[in-house]
Amino acid sequence: MARRTPLAARASLAILPDPEPAAETVRLAEALIFASPRPLAAADLAARLPPGHEVEAVLAELRRLYRGRGITLARVAGGYAFRTAPDLAGLLRGDAPEPRKLSRAAIETLAIIAYHQPATRAEIEEIRGVSTSKGSLDLLLETGWVRLRGRRRTPGRPVTYGTTPAFLEQFGLDSVGDLPGLDELKGLGLIEGRLPAGFGVPVPSDDPGLRPDEDPLADGLPDPDIA
C-alpha cells in the first residue's frame, strides 16, 4: 500500500514556488516588460505576476527564450528591458535618429558629475581646471541625464548635480557603479602616460538620498547656476 503524505507536509509543498514558471506567466512578464516605458524593476514585475512564481525564474526563462535572437532581455538602470542584441546594434544605427552631439566640455562635465556626484558647479570647474559654461549644464539637464539634487551647505548654497536613471538607460548601465574604473579606463586607452602619485578614480554612487552636507532644493533661494 502506498504511503500517504502527511497533511502538514502536503500543505508545505503546496506553497512552494513553481521552479518552472508556467508559459502564461512568462508571456505576461514578457508583455509587462515590453509595454513598460522604463526598465521594469523585479519587485514591480513580481507584484503583477500570479502568486506562487519566483520572478527570477520567470526572468531566467525569458533570457533563455531570447538567447540568440535579434532582441535580448537586459538589466538596465536597476530594472529589465528588451534591447537590440549587441552584435546587431551597429547595423541599426543608420535607422535611428541622429542623437544630439555633446561638446567636449559637456562630455567632461557629465563624466565629472557621474563619478563625483553630488557635485557643484565650482567643484566641476576645480576638477576640469577651467570654467564651466551654464550652457553645458543646461544641455545636460535638457537631455534628462543630469538632475538638480539639492544645495550644498556652504556659503552661497550652490546647487548640487547628479545623474538620473535616463543616464543609465542611455549608456546601458544597470547602476552608476558599473562605470569603468581606473584599470578599465587604462585598458580603453582613455588614460595614458604616467599618473601622479595617489591618483585614482572614485567609486561613484547615485544614491538619491541627500547627503549630510546637502539641503533640499525647495528653499526659495535664488542660485546663479539656474537663474
Question: Three-class SS of residue 88?
Answer: helix
CA distance 226 to 150: 12
- What would the grid cell of residue 68 be? 540568440
Domains of the chain as residue ranges with CATH: 17-84 (1.10.10.10), 104-191+200-215 (1.10.10.10)
Q: In Å, what is the CA distance from 27 to each residue of 38, 47, 127, 142, 173?
A: 19, 15, 49, 36, 26
The residue among 173, 148, 163 whose CA lies nearest residue 39 is: 173
CA distance 38 to 172: 13
Query: Residue 18 is which amino acid?
Result: D
Write out the chain's pLDDT in tens, 227 residues: 444 445 444 444 444 444 567 889 999 999 999 999 889 999 999 999 988 888 999 999 999 999 989 989 999 988 999 988 888 866 766 555 555 678 888 988 998 999 999 999 999 999 888 888 888 899 999 999 999 999 999 998 999 999 999 999 888 888 888 888 767 766 656 555 555 566 566 788 888 888 999 999 875 554 545 54
Query: Residue 196 is which amino acid?
Result: P
Indicate if the alpha-carbon torsion angle 54, 56, 58, 61 is positive or negative. Answer: negative
Q: Peptide bond preceding 118: is omega within 30 degrees of 0, i.e. cis?
A: yes
- What would the grid cell of residue 208 be? 538619491
